[in-house]
Amino acid sequence: MSDAAHQNDVLEPPSSKKIKIDQQNENGVSVKQLELKDFIAEKVIKNNTNTKTVCIEGKFRDKTGVALVVLEKNAFKEEELNDTGYFCPETVQETYFQNDIYGNYVCFPKSAVNGVKTTIIYPATEKHIVKYSQQEVHIVVETPELYEKLTLPHIEKEQFNLQWVYNILEGKTEQDRIVHNNPCEQDGFVLLPDLKWDGVTKETLYLLAIVRRRGIKSLRDLNASHLPLLKRVRDEGKKKILEKYNLPESQLRIYFHYQPSFYHLHIHFTYLRHEAPGIYAEKAHLLSTVINNIEMMNNYYQKASLPFTIKQMDNIFKVYETNGCVQRIDSNIENTELIDK
């Protein structure tokens, strides 16, 4: 998604103080700019020490509704690891300890290389809060029967609003972020940075191909009639990324998520060196494997049992729990209050 930043060939790094968003978001709220100085933090709902990411729930002054702010430490850019970046006179260093040849320090580089990637979701729905909260996760092996009986009715009833996707496809928003645009309504797509990528740092490259054809929710809907579309996304996506970012196809991870975060078919392109969220076996399905499976069997994804993960706070967890497919476990994880009550 943007649960998806693109641009021209030269991008300005995102500011940690001002986040520009579209004039109207998917919920019809008109705002031109949200500023972190107006954010009132209420509680931490997730703190991932591995990814150096934290999600804070709160609100903006003089605005109604809940807001989520996601802060993520940026990856190092190799071009900044020199005497004009981290190793420059502006860098401040403090010593933790020194023992023989070993020293442990904390350093404070100049602000230009020390930004924090910031994502703002406003107004955030209960579904957003659940998605970004720290909680227990379970694996479900979804048979075709379980898909028809439990999963499909649930996603048709409760999936996220897709207006933001249609705004992109219809040329209403984010057009300056688009890397590649194939206008064919049948087999075309747009390629743009995922919301999780700053659009600049090659080391964390993460793009999203959103197909133009509507009505394809996920892997489950794919068959041989979609092969021209899938191959076009693969071939044109790889070509454009090579031209723009100088990354060959052998260094790209191209895959679907199942379950996806939103139910309009999209494909992820990430740098192979980058351990992006959702690249593991229980979540990711390589595009090359999907194409191969469909070429062997037209209705492979209507016949296959597919694993996916669900969180205990997800409503779909309740559906599977009620039908005896998963069992709830107690968690000791609690939200951390930021403000003393």
Q: Delimit the domains of the chain by residue range.
A: 18-70+116-322, 75-113
Q: Are 142 and 303 in contact (CB under 8 A)?
A: no
Q: What is the pLDDT of residue 127?
A: 82
**What region, left, alpha or beta, does residue 184 occupy, with left being phi > 0 and alpha being psi -120 to 50 degrees?**
beta
Sequential pLDDT tens for the chain (341 residues)? 444 333 333 333 333 333 444 455 444 444 457 899 999 999 999 898 778 889 999 999 999 999 999 998 887 887 888 878 888 888 899 998 788 888 888 898 888 888 888 999 999 998 888 888 888 889 999 999 999 999 999 998 887 789 999 999 999 999 999 999 999 999 999 999 998 888 888 989 999 999 999 999 999 999 999 999 999 999 999 999 999 999 999 999 999 999 998 999 999 999 999 989 899 999 999 999 999 999 999 999 999 999 999 988 888 999 999 999 988 876 544 444 454 43
* Catalytic status, residue 264: no
Q: What is the pLDDT of residue 19?
A: 40
Q: What is the pLDDT of residue 82?
A: 83
Q: What is the pLDDT of residue 63?
A: 92
> Which member of 6, 226, 264, 266 is catalytic?
266
The CB-based long-range contact list for 38-43 (8 Å cut-off, 24+ gap) reads 38/62, 39/67, 39/69, 41/69, 41/338, 41/339, 42/337, 42/338, 42/339, 43/335, 43/336, 43/337, 43/338, 43/339
Q: What is the pLDDT of residue 100?
A: 85
Q: What is the pLDDT of residue 330?
A: 67
Distance between CA atoms of 52 and 74, rounded to whole angstroms?
Answer: 9
Q: What is the pLDDT of residue 123?
A: 93
Q: What is the pLDDT of residue 238?
A: 98
Q: What is the pLDDT of residue 338?
A: 54
| Whether domain 18-70+116-322 has CATH 3.30.428.10 | yes
